Structure 1
Amino acid sequence: MSGELWLFLAGLLATGAFAGLIAGLFGIGGGVVMVPALYFTFTALGYETHAMHAAVGTSLTVIVATSLRSVAAHARRGAVDGHVLKTWTPWIVIGALAGSVLADFIPSRGLTGLFGAVALVLSAQFFFGRPDWKLAEAMPGLPLSGVLGAFIGILSALMGIGGGVFGVTLMTLCGKPIHKAVGTAAGFGVAIGLPGAIGFMAAGLDEPMRAPFSLGYVNMAGFAVLAAAAVFLAPVGARLAHALPEARLRQAFAIGLVVVALNMIREAVFGG
């Protein structure tokens, strides 16, 4: 195996380990970490043409594995709202499919800028958000639930994230206890990741200049290495979360997310 491939795999392993720690520490999917890390890894190795599409598609594939593990663990503890999953999942799937199709028409710099802009908003939620904020006493019904579910699916598929941040925020604002919200939002990750990943695989099949081991826009080596590392390290992050002050952890992550977001926006505006 060439030195470039070893470097590529080492970068993927480090990315997956860090994503797993972040997922365990903050109760979110690792996509918000995996996407920028994969983007810079692909770019550094000379695959910048479709770097953002590959980062998003690969992240969605990993999210399927990590979300399945997460939702099963939460379900064993009775922390999954089956009614919310049953009624919201079809709309989220439709949105994720639409997002994966839409992504093929958006230039890499456009996806990069979108990720950076939304990441800035998410960082504000992490830094300033409070668990006692509430807008309603119950989750909305149709037609609003369909619109919101599709929007979560579209935006999450375009960003390569599992929708946990959007889902948890929405459910807590609508009166769901935080543990029930986290467990249910893990199921959103499967509904977003699976159709999104299939869409990115199909959309990139005929594209040249992709990284080694790619199926469409999804890098299968990245999927294997990141999924293994993320699943292994997530419990370590969860243990660390219980040993450290939650408020300071969330603020530190928010600051780091701001740095990543601004860098992604800079890449979108001034990148080659």
Structure 2
Amino acid sequence: MSKKVQIWSRTISGQTHHLEVTGDIIRTFVWTVDDEEVLTRKTADDRARLESKEHGSLLVIHSGLGTPRRATYFTPDEGLAGMTGVGGVDLTPEPGSRAAAYERRVIEHPKRYALIETLGGVGGVIAGIVGAMVVAWIVSRISLPDIDLPLPNLPDLPDLPLPDLPSIPWPSIPWPDLPDVQVPEWVKWVANHLKYIWPVVLAFVLAQGEIKRRRKHAEASRTSAEASRTSAEKAADDASTDASDVSTDRGDVSTDRGDASTDRGDASTDAGDVSAEEGQRRGL
């Protein structure tokens, strides 16, 4: 059975970064720059970090089920950003790959993606509550035996006389009477349920950030493709213009040759006329 392969690549600051990932659980990462291998690493981490002092670092993210998400490049000067995963430049996934399909779904259906990620946060909260209830139920069903441990009889410790310390007359500060502030009920409810709410909010915020990142990457890729297409069209136009100029020059040369041939024919005709006149003169 062949291993699944995911490839990312992109040219950044004149250097072509190429990343190849193989495997599902324990993955092998091979990072090359301009066809020269930078490093190879094996790990099962879903947020794998590949670091090089000379070329910077890569952050490769997979889902909990092992689906490739994205590979982000950070320059050597972006050390802190690389550790937090903020910023960087996303590499382009190979067309037709699982990462490319995921990126296309995020861009084409951002609301559905945000909803799925938010529901995932809700599912995590519910799973935590259900898991705690199951553990509590199991513990309540377990009856532990009563074990009597013989403890030694310790002698009574003597009472030590403590000295009477003088009392310190602390100053009395007249604090103002603060107004009685009533917190709204919804604030109390949020405070009591914050541990259940924040994972959902965090999932929604992360989903929005991922959507913006994907749109930015798609726009940059589109701009780069248009620039490459414009350069290719300009080069083709220049080549066509040069070919037209060459054809025109060849036509001019052919015309000049035709004119020269005509001039030679006229010269030959004139020479024939002169010879005829000379013959008539001699005959006379």
TM-score, L = length of structure 2: 0.22
Compare the two structures and name the one with the higher helix fraction: 1
TM-score (norm 1): 0.22
> Greater relative contact order: 1 or 2 (C-alpha under 8 angstroms, separation 6 or more)?
1
| Structure holding more strand per residue | 2
Please identify the structure whose Cα radius of gyration is greater.
2
